[in-house]
Amino acid sequence: MGGGTGSAPRDSRLSGGAPRAGDLLGDELRGVDAYWRAANYLSAGQIYLLANPLLREPLRVEHIKPRLLGHWGTTPGLNFVYAHLNRVIRAGDRDVIHVTGPGHGGPGTLANTWLEGAYSEAYPDIGQDEAGMCALFRQFSFPGGVPSHVSPEVPGSIHEGGELGYSLAHAHGAALDNPGLIVACVIGDGEAETGPLAASWHLNKFSNPATDGAVLPILHLNGYKIANPTVLARIPQDELDALLRGYGYAPRFVSGSDPATMHRDMAAALDWALDEIDDIQRRARTGDGSGRPRWPVLVLRSPKGWTGPSHVDGVPVEGTWRSHQVPLSAVRENPGHLAALEQWLRSYRPEELFDDSGAPVEQVRAMAPAGNRRLGSNPHANGGLLLRSLRLPDFRTHATEVAQPGGSTSQPTRVLGRWLREVAEENADARNFRIFGPDETASNRLDAVYEVTDKQWQAGTLDTDEHLSGDGRVIEVLSEHLCQGLLEGYLLTGRHGLFNCYEAFIHIVDSMFNQHAKWLKISRRLPWRRPVASLNYLLTSHVWRQDHNGFSHQDPGFIDHAVNKKAEVIRVYLPPDANTLLSVADHCLRSRDYVNIVVAGKNDTPDWLSIEDAVLHCARGVGIWEWAGSEDGGEPDVVLACAGDAPTLEVMAAVSLLREHLPALKVRVVNVVDLMRLQPDTEHPHGLTDPEFDALFTTDKPVIFAYHGYPWLIHRLTYRRNNHGNLHVRGYKEEGTTTTPFDMLVLNDMDRFRLVIDVLNRVPGLGVRTAGLRQAMVDKRARHHAWTRTHGEDLPEVLDWAWTN
Amino acid sequence: MGGGTGSAPRDSRLSGGAPRAGDLLGDELRGVDAYWRAANYLSAGQIYLLANPLLREPLRVEHIKPRLLGHWGTTPGLNFVYAHLNRVIRAGDRDVIHVTGPGHGGPGTLANTWLEGAYSEAYPDIGQDEAGMCALFRQFSFPGGVPSHVSPEVPGSIHEGGELGYSLAHAHGAALDNPGLIVACVIGDGEAETGPLAASWHLNKFSNPATDGAVLPILHLNGYKIANPTVLARIPQDELDALLRGYGYAPRFVSGSDPATMHRDMAAALDWALDEIDDIQRRARTGDGSGRPRWPVLVLRSPKGWTGPSHVDGVPVEGTWRSHQVPLSAVRENPGHLAALEQWLRSYRPEELFDDSGAPVEQVRAMAPAGNRRLGSNPHANGGLLLRSLRLPDFRTHATEVAQPGGSTSQPTRVLGRWLREVAEENADARNFRIFGPDETASNRLDAVYEVTDKQWQAGTLDTDEHLSGDGRVIEVLSEHLCQGLLEGYLLTGRHGLFNCYEAFIHIVDSMFNQHAKWLKISRRLPWRRPVASLNYLLTSHVWRQDHNGFSHQDPGFIDHAVNKKAEVIRVYLPPDANTLLSVADHCLRSRDYVNIVVAGKNDTPDWLSIEDAVLHCARGVGIWEWAGSEDGGEPDVVLACAGDAPTLEVMAAVSLLREHLPALKVRVVNVVDLMRLQPDTEHPHGLTDPEFDALFTTDKPVIFAYHGYPWLIHRLTYRRNNHGNLHVRGYKEEGTTTTPFDMLVLNDMDRFRLVIDVLNRVPGLGVRTAGLRQAMVDKRARHHAWTRTHGEDLPEVLDWAWTN
């Protein structure tokens, strides 16, 4: 064994004098084992039993579920960890939450939370008695019940065990700014093969031992995935030891299968780990020592399907991939399997573990911590309980003065950065707001925040570094997965945050977003889960201004991806200027239980709306810009609609051209900030009713819509609207390259000249008498294109345009 | 230094007796240095110069580009590696390709391929002379030119340097089945923070030293990302050494900034690494020794912006993040910056490096390998040159006999697996076909392939393992990122493959798919890039049969994501049964330069079409199933359309109910295999013309469309069609949970009874006289729902249904 399993020195302990591993009396060890057996029994029961939960009578086929679904393999190891965490929580009156990374660990966590009573408090219809046990068994992987992985329905969880790879990032997010908390994170060896998990080991380069809580990774090597061995279980132990030391940890191994030995080893190892954590924290918090500590990590090597059937039908099952799901699969058809199941279940001696009523006996109950110390009841794992609203400074004080629309320009994210600086400052004491970014916070022009805070960093520093320190509100790591995982963990434990990211690369976390949106949909329907702060994306360095980085950096499709998720949790905002961005951001940081996607530019953008108008416009989400159009009270001849900063600029320029060349044409300008307003009100809570939509977009006039992203999305949102047949959308159509900003618009047919041509094409009767104007527009596009290719920049006469009312 | 930098033993060398590091004469060292200086000069020139490329006259503002774009920081290190790779390629006549992982390494790779002549062969208008140099400079980050990262336009590249994290997986994919190839993979320390890269280090557990080529990772620590230090550059060297040893490598460090010392150290380190590779391969190939070797890895620690301006405006630039992009940013405005630029450029002594014509002098030219040994000309990096078509066995021999439609059932992916077994067998000698999966190939029921091949695996084995061996056509690793990265590398070097994945979790690689689709769009337009085999996704264990895994495993949105990319490269197939899946798969494995997305089930599915009908149906992509409908020649009253296996079954069952209860109703059944047929022919090469579409879907009859995925996608594809107003789509709407297969359909309103109700609602005149039938349908849904919640399985009377003509 790599790190040895003997007792570690105890002199550095901070907490009280409760019994320790070395002091483990026979009684306590037996208690832990009884608790573990009870949890294993309940886990197997969930997979198999519809009735006869306590085996009060011989097991018969009619007691067995018709569909045997669930995952036994990882469960006994998880139960083992849970039982031992309970011991140290009780012993030290510690504040601990757990994150269960391995897939399909549901039966175990459900069993444990039921044993400790937390489950019955969340679900009073599933009591701690025989009927409750029967209901617990029945609901598992059963229609109308709960899935076989740890899900939002499980008390004490902030982590879905469905898609794999995010446990350690979630754990670190939970630990941030929770100095009294320990997050025990069980990492499956299957999960450990994923990219996000592999990257997460380095999060110890960001964790501050003085101001953050501790993460205790417990790498669980049960050796197998669905049908294959795992990489980390099949490398020599010295290699794994080097790997973990290379990640910056102090590893200790607990390996074996004999329960008594394993109990002693695990107890000693956990005591050692908590001693190490105590010592690291004491030193960091008393100024005794500096630098990045070597946090402990435990490696638990135990058989897959531990304590389950050793062999089935003559082939080994325990300790192989064959125990991944249901070790005995033919119990309803094969009497031998049925007998083996009964023998297996009785091997846990349920009659010793549960009393006549079906409740756990005192020996078992006593092993669980009390009240909020229970892993299933810790309020950190139901973060809404702890959530405090942010102190939000008045964003209006950061507004850009707008003497006349388009008369000045601002860099929207730079303006936002100044407000975020104040948000960081105002909530510095509360320590409940963080900004995450993949090395892009300055590039995205939010760097004003560095006037009041730093980037948190625990790795080495040099004199030339700027804004790096052990304690800061910004965390930057070049992994969108880690940014997302940290923020999710931070939010689900009751805090607030923002993830700023290049628009194109947010697709890296598409699947993480999926799982978080699914989590929110379910958790919103659970009365005992309290609302948490929304997950806020600020997507900038967007498609229209990645002209210098080229095609690979151009993708506005995250919105398309997001709107497939439940409408009740998805919000999408496209503020056209700095003041609208301020108003949107303030709204998002106040909201709960949503995913807010804000797309905004960092480059100079005309200021269109005063802050008062911006607030009003954002509250409406969509509106006619009367001052920009030329309707003159009546119905317009054409509607020019826009969503996004670049489209808004092009529409305004197009309108300017139309007013100059076709002064009689009645043009309406509609700007969309809240994209979900376009959907029918039956599809999205923000959706406009049909009369509202018709009042903006008419029922029969041509609508030229310049949209920030892929044009098809606007059709997907509006296909049921009365005037959809007249809707013509321009947007990004994958014609990206390295060029100038305006040439990007030309290449994608969303430039002002093209929009004018669209109007000429679509408004009845304009065709012939505007041939000259059309040709002028065609010529301007061609001239611009040629100019950029010669001069390498935009044609000044295009850029020099300015809006005038 | 960790691994030392002295010369290593040479006795194990396989290749010839060319000069070695220790033998490096002054001349050779000076040659390598001259080559490096030339590459650095050309790199800086690309960022800055529009004219005066050889500095034949004093540098003036008008020689400078108007927009200074590009990335200097990583470039000199990349050039250094390139120059030294050239030396060992020449010395050993080695077959080497390189993968440039760091972001924005474009200037360096462009400079090097121009120096060696490969660039001018691909782009004859950019010759090896002064005019060509000027054109090379001009096009860089310039409208109509090339981006600042390594992109498809760069000869010798199989890896886009835009989004980060995939270099090492691409390198391993390229090395598979190329035993004579060495893939030198430069990994940026920024990139190294990403999840996919962090996971990729473990790919050495799959690489076979006898049958695969070698990957030589070169971790380049220049210390900084955009605005932050990197994690791996700021941990102690012993920790990094342990990390790399923990990954299973033998590391060696080359650290410093003095060019002469660094040249000597790098030459020695590369010789050592190639000796190690030779030795590993010799032992593996002669049966001398076994087990997983410790492959060499180099760590190059050199200053960011090495050889660039040391300080600018009084602050350090070289060796800091400030040299990430353009070290001197105000050369057009600030005469001091202009002078510093000229001094910097002249420090490379261009007059020694280029002759009067502007071509590299002989000392420089001689440093590049010749012909196809040049990194910019190696045919492996233009894989279409090497591509051989697969020998595809006749899929018809694996067809399911279909005596009558729906009269039998098959598991489509299981049937496919038998054909894939033959594909693997037929191409075993060619070694050019592989299957990748995240531990799901057996779960996805393709396990027939294990009858003829194994899962390739180089980590430890146990007696209980099955189908693991050092050499196999299947690679399974629990990382969708690695599966995708390996397959991309395999395809781009001229081979064939298939990625099989749970449908929901393919979103993990959304962004990788994006980049590959963008790569294909560009590479298809480059005449010198030859077509490569398509990237084939088999998405199974799909949304409608993840009822046991629950909500987190249910997401059919990858199709939505994919169709935003250029139509010319995207193909989507939804075969409704086993025979159509066979036909589709055969088609996909023959195709080139596409991304093929095939969604198919693994569960029992009725066999609808004989193999002849299946082939015909797949060739058409969409068609009327006359035998299923009740049109009787005339116009139908209603069209029931379906795409996907579950929707097809429900539509057929609904039609059956309609024929029973409303025999006079004329029903048309349309099945869609090739989803892109729904788009207008102006939008997609497979799109139906409007008359074709109208002939199938009518112009005025109600269409009830049961679709596999999110229903909005069908509207997005058809909104311009004449009959779109009558189109009513059912599909998945995020109502997933753990339940029975049929209850999933009921929850999402796509079950047969709901479809019948939809018909009753939509066909004019049916409303009143069918009240009884409607109520019967409502009752069946309610009864089924109640039944599943009591019995835990589907109601038999629903399952017992069978199609009869």
Question: B449-504: per-residue pLDDT in tens?
Answer: 999 999 999 999 999 999 999 999 999 999 999 999 999 999 999 999 999 999 99
Nearest to A481 by CA among A511, A458, A454: A511
Nearest to A522 among B229, B507, B551 (CB): B551
Question: Is the distance from CB of B320 to CB of B292 less than 8 angstroms?
Answer: no
pLDDT tens track for B712-755: 999 999 999 999 999 999 999 999 889 999 999 999 999 999 99
Residue A382 pLDDT level (bands cut at 50, 70, 90): very high
Mean pLDDT, rounded, for A411-431:
98
Nearest to A552 among B440, B515, B734 (CB): B515
- Edge-to-edge strand order for the sheet containing A250-255? A95-100, A181-188, A214-221, A296-301, A250-255
Mean pLDDT, rounded, for A163-180:
98
Q: What integer pLDDT is reported at residue B766 of this predicted model?
A: 85
Which of A226, A294, A564, A726 to mutate to probe the B interface, most B CBs <10 Å? A564
Give the closest-approach CA distance of A285 to chain B in angstroms: 22
Q: List B469's β-bridge partners, or say none.
A: B456
pLDDT for residue A15 is more than 70 = no
Helices (H) and strands (E) in chain A, counts: 25, 22
Residue in the block written with tokens 């590049």:
B368
pLDDT tens track for B653-668: 999 999 999 999 999 9
CB contact under 8 A, A551 and B522: yes
Nearest to B715 among A145, A441, A716 (CB): A716
Give the closest-approach CA distance of B268 to chain A in angstroms: 26
In angstroms, rounded to a whole number, what is the distance separating the alpha carbons of residues A506 and A498?
13
Classify residue B633 by burial, with Cβ atoms within 10 Å: 0-12, 13-18, 19+. Answer: exposed
Question: Is the distance from CB of B515 to CB of A112 less than 8 angstroms?
Answer: no
In the A/B pair of chains, how many CB contacts fall below 8 A? Answer: 356
Mean pLDDT value across chain A: 94
Give the pairing of strands B605-606 and B409-410. Answer: antiparallel
In angstroms, rounded to a whole number, what is the distance separating the alpha carbons of residues B117 and B128?
7
Mean pLDDT value across chain B: 94
pLDDT tens track for A526-548: 999 999 999 999 999 999 998 88
Cβ-based neighbours of B216, under 8 Å, separated by 6 or more: B182, B183, B184, B185, B273, B274, B277, B295, B296, B297, B298
Among A7-11, A461-465, B124-128, B383-387, where is mean pLDDT lowest?
Answer: A7-11
Residue B334 pLDDT level (bands cut at 50, 70, 90): very high
Q: Which residues of B touch A744 (CB under 8 A)?
A: none
Q: What integer pLDDT is reported at residue B634 of this predicted model?
A: 81
Mean pLDDT, rounded, for A739-749:
95
Residue A77, helix vs strand vs coil:
helix
Question: Is the distance from CB of B697 to CB of B642 less than 8 angstroms?
Answer: no
Give the closest-approach CA distance of B369 to chain A in angstroms: 31
Query: What are the backbone angles phi and psi of residue A652, rounded to the nearest 5°?
Result: -65, -40
Nearest to B460 among A143, A145, A235 (CB): A235
By CA distance, what is A320's nearest residue in B?
A: B464
Give the closest-approach CA distance of A225 to chain B in angstroms: 7
Which of A552, A570, A684 to mutate to probe the B interface, most B CBs <10 Å? A552
Nearest to A198 among B162, B163, B199 (CB): B199
Kindly state the DSSP code that residue B50 receives in the 8-state scheme: S
Residue B779, helix vs strand vs coil:
helix
By CA distance, what is B742's nearest residue in A?
A: A143
Q: List B703's β-bridge partners, or say none.
A: B639, B727
CB contact under 8 A, A143 and B740: yes
In angstroms, rounded to a whole number, what is the distance separating the alpha carbons of residues B805 and B803?
7
CB contact under 8 A, B479 and A548: no
By CA distance, what is B719's nearest residue in A?
A: A719
CB contact under 8 A, B712 and A564: yes
How far is residue B118 from each of residues B141, B268, B383, B621, measured CA to CA in Å? 20, 27, 16, 43
Size of chain A, expressed as the number of residues it contains? 805
Nearest to B195 among A199, A319, A724 (CB): A199
Among A370-384, A762-776, B199-213, where is mean pLDDT lowest?
Answer: A762-776
CA angle A550, A553, A554 (to 5 degrees): 90
pLDDT for residue B376 is more than 80 = yes
Instruction: Note whether ipTM > 0.90 here.
Output: yes
CB contact under 8 A, B230 and A478: yes
pLDDT for residue A22 is more than 60 = no
Q: Which residues of A touch B522 (CB under 8 A)?
A: 551
CB contact under 8 A, B143 and A739: yes
Mean pLDDT, rounded, for B136-164:
93
CB contact under 8 A, A198 and B198: yes
pLDDT tens track for A304-316: 999 999 999 999 9
Nearest to A163 among B245, B248, B505 (CB): B505
DSSP H/E element including B421: helix B412-426
B693-716 burial: b if 16+ Cβ within 10 Å, else e: beebbbeebbbbbbbbbbbbbbbb
Mean pLDDT, rounded, for A216-239:
96
Give Cα A625 to chain centroid, integer Å.
Answer: 36
- What chain A holds in terms of domains, given with CATH numbers, is 22-381 (3.40.50.970), 410-605 (3.40.50.970), 622-800 (3.40.50.920)
Q: What integer pLDDT is reported at residue B24 of this predicted model?
A: 56
Nearest to A225 among B439, B521, B789 (CB): B439
pLDDT tens track for B476-488: 999 999 999 999 9
Position with higher pLDDT, B158 vs B767: B158
Q: What integer pLDDT is reported at residue B801 of this predicted model?
A: 83
Residue type, B82: Y
Classify residue B7 by burial, with Cβ atoms within 10 Å: 0-12, 13-18, 19+. Answer: middle
pLDDT for residue A2 is more than 80 = no
Residue in the block written with tokens 């060739």:
B619
Residue B301, helix vs strand vs coil:
strand
CB contact under 8 A, B231 and A477: yes
Nearest to A793 among B67, B195, B464 (CB): B67
Q: List B536's β-bridge partners, or say none.
A: B498, B596
Q: Which residues of A touch B143 (CB under 8 A)?
A: 738-740, 743, 788-789, 792
Give the closest-approach CA distance of A232 to chain B in angstroms: 9
Q: What integer pLDDT is reported at residue A632 of this predicted model?
A: 78
Residue A608 pLDDT level (bands cut at 50, 70, 90): very high
Question: Is the distance from CB of B205 to CB of B458 less than 8 angstroms?
Answer: yes
CA angle A793, A736, A606 (to 5 degrees): 55
pLDDT tens track for A456-503: 999 999 999 999 999 999 999 999 999 999 999 999 999 999 999 999
B265 backbone φψ class: left, alpha, beta (φ>0; ψ -120 to 50): alpha
Give the closest-approach CA distance of A16 to chain B in angstroms: 35
In angstroms, rounded to a whole number, what is the distance separating the alpha carbons of residues B373 and A549?
30
Give the pairing of strands B622-624 and B667-672. Answer: antiparallel
Among A2-6, B30-34, B520-524, B782-786, where is mean pLDDT lowest?
Answer: A2-6
Q: Which residues of A touch B477 (CB under 8 A)?
A: 193, 231
Classify residue A762 by burial, with Cβ atoms within 10 Å: 0-12, 13-18, 19+. Answer: middle
Residue type, B672: V
In angstroms, rounded to a whole number, what is the distance separating the alpha carbons of residues B469 and B397?
29
Give the pairing of strands B605-606 and A638-643. Answer: unpaired
CB contact under 8 A, B734 and A566: yes
DSSP H/E element including B502: strand B496-502
In angstroms, rounded to a whole number, what is the distance separating the alpha carbons of residues A152 and A146?
10
Nearest to B459 among A147, A234, A462 (CB): A234
Mean pLDDT, rounded, for A343-356:
97
In angstroms, rounded to a whole number, what is the distance separating the alpha carbons of residues B8 and B206?
27
Q: Which residues of B touch A66 (CB under 8 A)?
A: 791-793
Give the closest-approach CA distance of A343 to chain B in angstroms: 24
Nearest to B243 among A164, A246, A461 (CB): A246
Residue B59, helix vs strand vs coil:
coil
Q: Which residues of B touch A548 (CB under 8 A)?
A: 67, 69, 141, 148
Question: Is the distance from CB of A704 to CB of A749 less than 8 angstroms?
Answer: no
CB contact under 8 A, A229 and B462: yes
CA angle B610, B690, A726 (to 5 degrees): 135
Q: List A536's β-bridge partners, or say none.
A: A498, A596
Give the closest-approach CA distance of B661 to chain A in angstroms: 30
CB atoms within 10 A of CB A413: 28
Question: Is the distance from CB of A472 to CB of A456 less than 8 angstroms?
Answer: yes
CB contact under 8 A, B789 and A205: no
Size of chain B, expressed as the number of residues it contains? 805
How far is residue A322 from each of residues A71, A509, B446, B450, B489, measured CA to CA in Å? 11, 32, 18, 17, 33
DSSP A774-796: HHHHHHHHHHHHHHHHHHSS--H
Residue B25 pLDDT level (bands cut at 50, 70, 90): low
By CA distance, what is A248's nearest residue in B?
A: B239
How far is residue B65 from each of residues A520, B106, B138, B338, B340, measured CA to CA in Å? 50, 17, 8, 12, 16
pLDDT tens track for B397-456: 999 999 999 999 999 999 999 999 999 999 999 999 999 999 989 999 999 999 999 999
Q: Which residues of A touch B603 (CB under 8 A)?
A: none
Residue A16 pLDDT level (bands cut at 50, 70, 90): very low
Question: Is the distance from CB of B600 to CB of B645 less than 8 angstroms?
Answer: yes
Question: Is the distance from CB of A443 to CB of B71 less than 8 angstroms?
Answer: no
Question: Is the distance from CB of A648 to CB of A745 less than 8 angstroms?
Answer: no
